[in-house]
Amino acid sequence: MDFAILSRALWLLFHKSFGSQIENSYDKNFSKEVMRLAKKNYFKIISNPPVIGKHNPMLINILFAAFVASVYKAGNGKISPAKMGVIMSDGVEQVSLFKKFIGINDYFSKSWQDKRHRQTLQTQKREYPDDFVCEFIYGETFDEYGINYYECALFKLLKREGCPELAPQMCKFDYVMAKYMNADFKRTKSLATGGDFCDLRYSKKTLEKS
């Protein structure tokens, strides 16, 4: 999808649910002001987008990080990073369309994993300075796999926007994603918390685990 279309669609998808969460935690006037400023912040960010290539498969993740950063910054220090993490997780839970979108793919199929593997190989060429650099790790079966991130586009974007402290909260979003991917998720370290890389590990949920 075209960058401009997708970036605007993402705003339309999430701004009401995030505004609702902020109103629940603070008040209606504060929520309205935050979301008014957030809209300006968000479209300012995407008017000078990170250098990630025209057809980046992780574009929606990067745009989501821009959206979360725009809301956080609009709080002018009144929304803590931890509180922003709660607003983010609860705000996503309100958007059924996004949850359905996450669940479209079969992440434990050979075709999806082969495609993701090819995508990670492309990042290792380091053609785009603001992109991810990552490695796909096949499991013993297609019911498990891993991805190591050596550079994180989301962390780069948050640092560029002056809010690197938000990065650990963005990392928590992986657990939200995993729930709708029908996956169990583990990570022992991340770039955002000072690790040398992020080690994401996924395994397919079984009926016994559900």
**β pairing state of 198-204 and 183-187:** antiparallel
Q: Which residue has the higher pLDDT, 119 or 2?
A: 119
Using an 8 Å Cβ cutoff, are 115 and 58 in contact? no
**Per-residue pLDDT at 207:** 62
pLDDT surpasses 70 at 190: yes
Per-residue HEC secondary structure of 38-90 comes to HHHHHHHHHHCCCCCCCCCCCHHHHHHHHHHHHHHHHCCCCCCHHHHHHHHHH
End-to-end CA distance of the chain: 34
Residue 2 has a pLDDT of 73
2: left (phi over 0), alpha (psi -120 to 50) or beta: beta
For residue 182, pLDDT beyond 50: yes
Q: Is the pLDDT of residue 210 over 90?
A: no
pLDDT of residue 1: 53
Over residues 126-174, the pLDDT tens digits come to 999 999 999 999 999 999 999 999 999 999 999 999 999 999 999 999 9
pTM for this entry: 0.93
Question: What is the enclosing helix (H) or strand (E) of 187?
Answer: strand 183-187
Write out pLDDT tens, residues 121-137.
999 999 999 999 999 99
Q: Which of 34-43, 98-107, 144-153, 154-163 has the lowest mean pLDDT?
A: 98-107
Percent of the chain with pLDDT over 70: 98
Nearest Cα residue to 174 out of 134, 136, 201 = 201
Mean pLDDT of the chain: 95
